């Protein structure tokens, strides 16, 4: 870093202080000059003439595990820092300045700050320098986060993932929970809104939504441009018994869509706030503060994030259960995935492995000491049930050909695979248990483990945890038949 004169230094500190003041009012940190212009791309799409939703009825398959493209571990351009309470605004600005920071802001739903650094500077080194300050509780580079792929409802017959865990018996005990239970889906957004170029997925037509948030675009319309979050939402609460398409597991719940994941179209349109794991942490706090009882996180990063750990502790302390994908790393070196790795030390937060039709671990599902439960997440390399389709998890989401062309009103029934698809089965079961009156997240985790069906190596194992969830036995075992 070049030497700066005292006058320059004072000016920078003043600028940083001004940024702090702005930060308290909203979220003005714009490290891309085009932020204001790119915000308009999403708004322009929202303001187009309304398009009707269209549905393709032949089931389709999502290609492969689509998380290999961007595998850099940390997001460039900023670090995440939590200061001690005794540090004044001036102290904080000086600390940010000392490591070459260009702006300092306190974002919404956070107990930490962002220090902007030049895009070509190493955030790992910048964080290490900040950690040497006595008034810093933690300073970390921000880990990049990835989605973890891939009744009378006529395509229900292809939803082996519900039949194999006995959902019909479970629905006899509790038919789909109720609207009083809100499940937050922290993901790529959801196709929940009929507006402009965007349409609500037709098989979410009867599903209830409450206001969520888009932390990537910093607005209140967390629309999906990818399809992942819409698919995950379908497993939890696809409109069921409507004579259309497929079923969901806890189909009467209320969904709170929260967009924190930055996907291809967000990148193409230069979304203004494509942050990393710290954004997940803010999404968790938003969900807790706005009444969610269950949070689903079908996502993962290759490094930890203290803000997310503290947000998870906050969630369980407020009675919110969290289900997290264990990771799809088994065929790629089997590195741990966060925040799943935090789950084993948190009662009320579980890490979920993925199973194929034969209820053995899917080949990609991470093998880790933090795996606590297993659920169907699919294996699109085989057709073990012989229904003529690969054994993925089937829900309605964007037709992938249309989505790749930037068309967001064409839907299909699509087989995905991944621990992303397993975690929402656990969220669905948590919602059913919450609806039965169990309010403690720790009690829900304990019941799921106790009544799981042990598979693989005897007892808890690193491939499938305590075993495959058994919804009917868990509901019945607690003596809570209605």
Stretch of residues binding Ca ion (CB under 5 A), selected from 48-56, 164-172, 237-245, 264-272: 237-245
Q: Does residue 203 interact with Ca ion by CB under 5 A?
A: yes
Stretch of residues binding Ca ion (CB under 5 A), selected from 88-96, 176-184, 235-243, 411-419: 235-243
User: CA 138, CA 130: separation in Å to the nearest integer?
Assistant: 8
Stretch of residues binding Ca ion (CB under 5 A), selected from 183-191, 205-213, 236-244, 316-324: 236-244
Give the residue with the Cβ less far from Ca ion, 245 or 272.
245
Size of the site for Ca ion (CB under 5 A): 15
Which of 95, 150, 181, 343 is in the footprint of Ca ion by CB under 5 A?
343
**Cβ contacts of 40 within 8 Å, gap of 6 or more:** none
Give the residue with the Cβ less far from Ca ion, 122 or 387.
387
Give the per-residue contact string, 434-463, with Ca ion (x = CB under 5 A; - = no).
Answer: --------------------x-x----x--
Q: Is 111 exposed, middle or buried (0-12, 13-18, 19+ CB in 10 A)?
A: middle
Stretch of residues binding Ca ion (CB under 5 A), selected from 121-129, 339-347, 405-413, 474-482: 339-347
Give the per-residue contact string, 379-418, with Ca ion (x = CB under 5 A; - = no).
Answer: ----x-x-x-x-x---------------------------
Stretch of residues binding Ca ion (CB under 5 A), selected from 24-32, 96-104, 242-250, 302-310: 242-250
Count CB neighbours of 251 within 10 A: 24
Stretch of residues binding Ca ion (CB under 5 A), selected from 122-130, 195-203, 269-277, 434-442: 195-203
**Under rule CB under 5 A, which residues in 10-69 are in contact with Ca ion?**
none
Give the residue with the Cβ less far from Ca ion, 276 or 392.
392
Least distance from Ca ion to the Cβ atom of residue 85, Å: 30
Based on its alpha-carbon atoms, the radius of gyration of the chain, rounded to whole angstroms, reads: 22
Least distance from Ca ion to the Cβ atom of residue 384, Å: 7
CB 80 within 8 A of CB 307: yes
Could you tell me the CA-to-CA distances from 42 to 107, 202, 274 in Å, in that order?
21, 22, 14
Between CA 74 and CA 81, with CA 78 as vertex, the angle to 5 degrees is: 100
Give the residue with the Cβ less far from Ca ion, 459 or 479.
459
Tokens of 48: 């187009």
Give the residue with the Cβ less far from Ca ion, 133 or 203.
203
Give the per-residue contact string, 142-161, with Ca ion (x = CB under 5 A; - = no).
Answer: -----------x--------
CB 27 within 8 A of CB 218: yes
Least distance from Ca ion to the Cβ atom of residue 30, Å: 38
DSSP state of 293: S
User: CA 306, CA 276: separation in Å to the nearest integer?
Assistant: 12
User: CA 269, CA 328: separation in Å to the nearest integer?
Assistant: 28
User: CA 283, CA 215: separation in Å to the nearest integer?
Assistant: 7
> Strand, helix or coil at 74?
strand
Least distance from Ca ion to the Cβ atom of residue 153, Å: 4
Give the residue with the Cβ less far from Ca ion, 369 or 387.
387
Give the residue with the Cβ less far from Ca ion, 194 or 454.
454
Stretch of residues binding Ca ion (CB under 5 A), selected from 36-44, 269-277, 375-383, 435-443: 375-383
DSSP-derived secondary structure for 204-245: GTT-EE---EETTTTBS--B-SSSHHHHHHHHHH---SSSSS
> Strand, helix or coil at 145?
strand
> Strand, helix or coil at 453?
strand
CB 225 within 8 A of CB 138: no
Q: Applying CB under 5 A, which residues contact Ca ion?
A: 153, 203, 239, 242, 244-245, 343, 383, 385, 387, 389, 391, 454, 456, 461
């Amino acid at each position: 870093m070049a030497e700066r004169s005292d006058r320059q230094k004072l000016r920078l500190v003043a600028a940083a202080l001004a940024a702090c003041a702005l930060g308290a009012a909203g979220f003005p940190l714009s490290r891309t000059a085009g932020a204001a212009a790119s915000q308009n791309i999403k708004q322009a799409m929202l303001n187009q003439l309304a398009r009707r939703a269209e549905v393709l009825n032949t089931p389709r398959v999502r290609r492969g595990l689509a998380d290999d493209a961007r595998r850099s571990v940390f997001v460039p351009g900023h670090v995440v820092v939590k200061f001690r309470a005794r540090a004044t605004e001036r102290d904080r600005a000086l600390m940010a300045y000392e490591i070459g920071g260009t702006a300092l802001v306190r974002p919404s739903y956070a107990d930490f700050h962002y220090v902007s650094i030049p895009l070509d500077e190493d955030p790992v080194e910048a964080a290490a320098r900040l950690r040497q300050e006595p008034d810093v509780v933690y300073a970390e580079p921000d880990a990049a986060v990835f989605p973890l792929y891939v009744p009378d409802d006529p395509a229900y017959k292809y939803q082996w993932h519900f039949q194999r865990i006995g959902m019909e018996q479970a629905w006899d005990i509790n038919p789909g929970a109720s609207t009083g239970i809100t499940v937050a889906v922290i993901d790529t957004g959801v196709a929940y809104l009929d507006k402009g170029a965007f349409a609500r997925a037709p098989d979410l037509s009867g599903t209830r939504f409450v206001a969520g948030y888009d932390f990537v675009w910093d607005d209140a319309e967390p629309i999906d441009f990818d399809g992942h979050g819409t698919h995950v939402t379908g497993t939890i609460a696809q409109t069921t018994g409507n004579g259309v398409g497929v079923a969901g597991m806890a189909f009467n719940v209320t969904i709170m869509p929260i967009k924190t994941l930055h996907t291809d179209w967000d990148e193409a349109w230069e979304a203004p706030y494509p942050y990393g794991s710290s954004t997940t942490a803010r999404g968790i706090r938003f969900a807790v503060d706005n009444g969610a009882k269950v949070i689903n996180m079908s996502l993962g990063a290759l490094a930890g994030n203290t803000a997310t750990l503290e947000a998870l502790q906050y969630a369980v302390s407020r009675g919110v259960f969290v289900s997290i994908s264990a990771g799809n790393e088994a065929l790629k070196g089997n590195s741990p995935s966060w925040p799943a790795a935090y789950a084993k030390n948190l009662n009320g937060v579980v890490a979920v492995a993925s199973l194929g039709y034969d209820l053995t671990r899917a080949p990609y599902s991470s093998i880790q000491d933090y795996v606590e439960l297993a659920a169907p997440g699919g294996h699109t390399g085989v057709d073990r049930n012989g229904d003529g389709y690969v054994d993925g998890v089937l829900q309605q989401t964007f037709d992938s050909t249309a989505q790749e062309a930037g068309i967001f009103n064409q839907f299909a029934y699509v087989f995905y695979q991944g621990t992303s698809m397993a975690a929402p089965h656990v969220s669905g079961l948590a919602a059913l248990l919450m609806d039965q009156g169990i309010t403690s997240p720790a009690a829900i985790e304990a019941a799921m483990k106790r009544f799981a069906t042990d598979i693989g190596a005897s007892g808890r194992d690193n491939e499938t945890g305590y075993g495959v969830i058994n919804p009917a036995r868990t509901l019945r075992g607690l003596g809570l038949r209605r």
